[in-house]
């Protein structure tokens, strides 16, 4: 005990009155006087950061994949349409994309692709079988860059020559295969009759079962001839280099559009997906709060244990002349040092863990996997590589550690100089 008293007296003499630099150094040295206790506390913060970062990464990964499914499989980040088209989706509410519009769009580096489309409905038949279908007139090259449509071809080829591609379920319902003839009739532009016969050059399997039962793809020039639109399209799908990039450029895009055109984001076209994401965020927030409570109480438990083990030490320090407010500050700095070490170690430990899961998504099997496939999603649990998510979890856990540090800070003012006396 005499050795401890001598050491504390020397430490106090080296600490300037009213200054706290020496106390910060003492707090750092105190951490390594009992390495085992320090490592236990740091480990609790370390794993707290990793678990919370994993949850945040998994949450953002699922949202990003959901948005990617909407953007890359169908809608794009946004679409330019005739201002009447959203309320009345008919071929009559199409428009001609002028050279000036296309030139304006090329001026935005945030836009990765501009994909023209002509969409309408028709009656498809083969023999005695008839099905109502959605006809997609697409630019084969641009559409493939956006949706990777060629990867979904399960029979035949991807638009090597003029013809039609159709969903696998639609082909089964009509009894068609590659090389057979598809007959379609519809109402064209301003009521003209539309009729056409097209060889089936490819059969695709889309992740969305509903699209497999309804979609027929035609080259856009063939679709324009079929519907007699003569250069008209129903939409220009815009794909940005990222969601943040497209959000940045949207105000300027809307401002430069002609009065007859409107700009609709994927959130406008698919409000159900947006509502699902927002609802899931609310649920995930509750789960995160529970996780933060577990982390906070874990840190608090180790701090309470530390205070109980060092009661005699604190009494000696007060007895040899250390002011209680300096003792309180020293304990506060000890916990903050531990918190800083824990969150930094957690951040460094998070990077390889998240990197592994980003490149190796967790497969979802059984009925849950089948359900996800039926609604058009890949049966995997995806993770997002977003440093902002990691930093956010570091900040939250560090704030929790800071809040916990007020327990020893307050207890320091109640330390009794008499060893063994309850305080």
User: What digits encode the pLDDT tens for the residues 135-181?
Assistant: 999 998 888 888 888 888 898 888 866 789 999 999 999 999 998 99
Closest listed residue to residue 381, CA positions, set 56, 58, 52, 55: 58
Residue 367 and residue 353 in contact, taking contact as beta carbons nearer than 8 Å: no
The answer to whether residues 156 and 164 touch, using CB atoms and an 8 Å cutoff, is: no
Of residues 17 and 87, the one with the higher pLDDT is 87
Residue 3 has pLDDT above 50, yes or no: no
Nearest to 384 by CA among 21, 55, 14, 126: 55
Residue 191 has pLDDT above 80, yes or no: yes
Distance CA 386, CA 279 (A): 21
Q: What is the mean pLDDT of the segment spanning 320-336? A: 80
Alpha-carbon separation of residue 310 from 28, 37, 304, 347 (angstroms)? 16, 11, 10, 30
pLDDT band per the 50, 70, 90 thresholds, residue 10: low
CB 144 within 8 A of CB 178: no
Q: Looking at residue 306, what is its pLDDT?
A: 77
Residue 37: Cβ within 10 Å count: 16
| 33-77 residue pLDDT tens | 778 878 887 887 888 788 888 888 888 887 777 777 777 777 788
CB burial of residue 422 (10 Å; 0-12, 13-18, 19+):
exposed
Rounded to whole angstroms, the Cα distance separating 195 from 218 reads 14
Q: How many CA atoms lie within 13 A of 265 on its CB side?
A: 16
Question: Following CA atoms 399, 401, 404, 410 in sequence, which dihedral angle do they give, to the nearest 10 degrees?
Answer: -90
Q: Which pair of tokens denotes residue 305?
A: 């244990």
Q: By percentage, how much of the chain surpasses pLDDT 90?
A: 13
Lowest mean pLDDT among 170-179, 316-325, 369-378: 369-378
Locate 393 and state its tokens. Answer: 């979890």
pLDDT at 118: 92
Most confident of 53-62, 109-118, 329-338: 109-118
Are the CB atoms for 138 and 217 separated by under 8 Å?
A: yes
- Ordered by start, the domain boundaries in the chain are 2-68+275-412, 84-258
pLDDT at 2 over 70: no
d(CA 131, CA 184): 10
**For residue 184, what pLDDT is reported?**
93
How far, in Å, CA of 39 to CA of 221, rounded?
69
Residue 115 in this model has a pLDDT that exceeds 80: yes
Query: Token pair of 104, please?
Result: 């304006």
**Helix (H/G/I), strand (E/B), else coil: 168:** helix
Contact 218, 137 (CB under 8 A): yes
pTM: predicted TM-score of the whole model, two decimal places = 0.67
Encode 184-201: b = buried (16+ Cβ within 10 Å), e = exposed.
bebbbbeeeebebebebb
pLDDT digits 0-9 by tens, 349-363 = 888 888 888 888 878
* Residues above pLDDT 70, as percent of the chain: 92
Q: Other CB atoms closer than 10 Å to residue 273's CB: what's the count?
A: 17
**Interacting residues of 167 by C-beta distance below 8 A, sequence separation 6+:** 203, 204, 205, 206, 211, 212, 213, 214, 215, 216
Integer Cα distance of 295 and 377 in angstroms: 33
Residues with Cβ < 8 Å from 263, sequence gap 6 or more?
78, 79, 80, 250, 253, 254, 257
> Residue 80 and residue 262: Cα distance in Å, rounded?
6
Q: Is residue 318's pLDDT more than 60? A: yes
Strand partners, 186: 194
- What pLDDT is attached to residue 376? 60
């Amino acid at each position: 005990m005499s050795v401890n008293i001598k050491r504390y007296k020397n430490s106090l003499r080296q600490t300037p009155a009213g200054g706290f630099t020496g106390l910060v150094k003492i707090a750092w040295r105190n951490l390594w006087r009992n390495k085992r206790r320090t490592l236990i506390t740091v480990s609790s913060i370390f794993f707290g950061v990793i678990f919370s970062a994993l949850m945040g990464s998994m949450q953002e990964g699922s949202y990003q994949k959901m948005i990617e499914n909407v953007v890359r499989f169908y809608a794009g980040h946004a679409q330019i349409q005739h201002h009447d088209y959203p309320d009345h989706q008919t071929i009559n509410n199409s428009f001609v994309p002028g050279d000036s519009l296309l030139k304006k769009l090329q001026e935005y580096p945030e836009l990765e692709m501009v994909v023209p489309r002509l969409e309408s409905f028709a009656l498809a038949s083969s023999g005695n079988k008839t099905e109502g279908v959605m006809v997609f007139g697409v630019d084969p090259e641009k559409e493939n860059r956006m949706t990777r449509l060629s990867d979904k071809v399960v029979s035949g080829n991807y638009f090597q020559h003029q013809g039609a591609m159709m969903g696998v379920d639609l082909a089964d319902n009509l009894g068609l295969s590659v090389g057979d003839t598809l007959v379609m009739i519809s109402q064209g532009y301003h009521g003209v009759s539309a009729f056409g016969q097209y060889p089936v050059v490819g059969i695709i399997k889309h992740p969305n079962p509903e699209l497999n039962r309804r979609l027929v793809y035609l080259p856009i020039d063939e679709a324009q001839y079929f519907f007699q639109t003569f250069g008209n399209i129903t939409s220009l799908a815009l794909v940005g280099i990222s969601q943040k990039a497209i959000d940045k450029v949207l105000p300027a895009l809307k401002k430069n559009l002609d009065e007859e055109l409107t700009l609709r984001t994927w959130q406008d076209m698919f409000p159900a997906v947006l509502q699902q994401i927002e609802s899931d965020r609310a649920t995930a927030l509750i789960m995160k709060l529970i996780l933060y409570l577990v982390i906070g109480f874990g840190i608090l438990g180790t701090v309470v244990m530390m205070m109980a083990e060092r009661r005699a030490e604190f009494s000696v320090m007060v007895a040899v002349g250390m002011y209680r407010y300096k003792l309180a500050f020293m304990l506060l700095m000890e916990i903050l040092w531990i918190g800083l070490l824990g969150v930094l170690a957690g951040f460094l430990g998070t990077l390889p863990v998240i990197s592994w899961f980003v490149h190796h998504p967790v497969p979802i099997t059984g009925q849950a996997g089948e359900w996800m496939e039926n609604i058009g999603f890949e049966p995997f649990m995806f993770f997002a590589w977003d440093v902002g998510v990691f930093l956010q979890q570091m900040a939250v856990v560090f704030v929790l550690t800071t809040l916990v540090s007020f327990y020893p800070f307050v207890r320091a003012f109640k330390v009794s100089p008499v060893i063994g006396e309850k305080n």
